[in-house]
Amino acid sequence: MSSIWGDLLERWFAIIGHRAPSSGALNLNDLAGSGGRMDVLVRAVNAALFVSHGIREESQVMLHLLGGEGPERRIWFDGTELGGVRPDERSIAGQIKGIMKRPVPPRGHFEEFSSGIMHSGGGLEHTLKEWDSRGVCPVVLDAEGGGFHSLPLSESLGFVLSDDRPLNEEDLVQLRGIPSLSLGERWLQGHSCIAILHHLMDSV
């Protein structure tokens, strides 16, 4: 591999919550059930952004809340600016709960909620367009994809992960033509995949 991997600046994560409600009340005691598997998304945020006694400034996370009756919402956690959030599920979910009480901003317009946390309308297609404008090279996590060393060299990679359900037909249409990466034959939980990706990218 080229030495560019040693200088990799950014890693972006797009987490798709197919059933996670975009608006309304969020029961912090039932993130899995009434939260539409919000627990899966929260653990992914934790794995992507936090290390012992610190935050990964090279990481960016975009949650896609696609469930419920309201318009789709995206929540952006910016590792370079994030503050006031503890590395535990309840603290992260508390931030999401506060955002869900607010109206969904127009697509592409990010409204600041707190330090390093913004939200906007839109879905995966909008995130992919924004990544393209930022020079982020997208990659889909897929058990049938290629190996890590087959990925294109880039200073900024964006990884697309689903929640506890496989990517659906609509997702796959939007992701057509994007290279895929396999982390093994077994299906792993999203936060475990993110931890492995951090290890691979930190080690090269």
Counting the structural domains of the chain, the total is 1
The two tokens of residue 122 are 């839109």
pLDDT of residue 141: 93
CATH number of the CATH domain containing 109: 3.40.1280.10
Is 77:44 a contact under the CB 8 Å cutoff?
no
**What domain range is 77 assigned to?**
3-203
pLDDT at 144: 83
What does the pLDDT read at residue 151? 80
Residues of the chain with pLDDT under 50: 1-6, 8
pLDDT number for residue 9: 62
Residue labelled with tokens 């697309």: 160
pLDDT for 6: 47
